[in-house]
Amino acid sequence: MKILETKNLMKRFNGVRAIDRLSIGIEKGQITGIVGPNGSGKTTLINLLSGVLEIDGGEVIIDGIEKFTRVLPHQVSSYGITRTFQNVRLFEQMTVLDNILVVVTERNVFGSIFEKNIEHHHKISEEVLQKVGLWEKRNQLAVNLSYGQRKLLEIARTLAMKTEIYLFDEPFAGLFPEMRKIVASIIRELKQKNKTVILVEHDIGLIRELCDQIFVMDEGKLLAEGEPEAVLKKRSVIEAYLGE
């Protein structure tokens, strides 16, 4: 079952087609890799799906029912979508714990008046911080974390939102081996829970290890799709992605 589809999706920058009539289907409960050379449109695609950029053409379909041509950032969570960024975005002057609490508590004024289940929110926050190994740093300001810890905190925030579709934009970049193991374990666990993961990643070894299917992009277009081992052996993919 396809949980997310794009139909003839388009995005232009100064007349250049960063996403060029892209049509793909993401299977529910699988880990899908988005790969391709630099400038192929991978992050642009994630930005369109998460409302960071406005869609110039085509549509996005959720669960085969909801169709839209514009995703507003504040509506993304209502579609069951959350994401991480290549350049980590945190509340720098808030503590590690508060960075989690801010996404698990009610975010509109009216709802917050009636929201009193503080113990429940702290339980969720502790659970995700334990999972990424940051519980002991819960009272530190986010700005004081190392680069790798900051990436783990951003991943913890996505987990705390408990959505259906997780968009991970290069979550392994710049991480030490032990931290990479933590992130890989989290991604596998999401699949075990029947969540859907869309993973943008340059490390082909990780793509082979984690992904059920991949889409290869080149110049904003779909170059190839299918199971990683078969797709990565295609000559067209080798020429585009590996530069051979």
The class that CATH gives domain 1-80+163-244 is alpha beta
> What pLDDT is attached to residue 7?
95
18: its two tokens? 């960063």
Question: Which residue ranges make up each domain of the chain?
Answer: 1-80+163-244, 90-161
Q: How many CA atoms lie within 13 A of 208 on its CB side?
A: 8
139: phi then psi, degrees, rounded to nearest 5:
-95, 0
Q: Please tell me the distance from the alpha carbon of residue 133 to that of residue 181, in angstroms, as a whole number.
A: 12
Provide the pLDDT confidence category of residue 72 given band limits of 50, 70 and 90. Answer: confident
Q: Please tell me the distance from the alpha carbon of residue 20 to that of residue 22, in angstroms, as a whole number.
A: 6
Segment 85-131, tens digit of pLDDT? 877 888 889 999 999 998 887 554 444 434 555 788 889 999 999 99
Mean pLDDT of 140-168: 94
The more confident residue out of 51 and 119 is 51
pLDDT > 90 fraction of the chain, expressed in percent and rounded: 69
Evaluate if residue 133 carries a pLDDT over 80.
yes
Average pLDDT, the chain: 89
| Residue 166, helix vs strand vs coil | strand
Evaluate if residue 149 carries a pLDDT over 60.
yes
Q: Which of 156, 150, 237, 165 has its CA nearest to residue 196?
A: 165
Please give the model's pTM, rounded to 2 decimal places: 0.90
> What pLDDT is attached to residue 71?
72
Segment 177-235, tens digit of pLDDT? 999 999 999 999 999 999 999 999 989 999 999 999 999 999 999 999 999 999 999 99
Ranges of H-type helices in 115-203: 118-132, 147-160, 177-192
> What pLDDT is attached to residue 230?
95
Is residue 187 within 8 Å of residue 197, measured between CB atoms? yes
Mean pLDDT of 163-168: 95
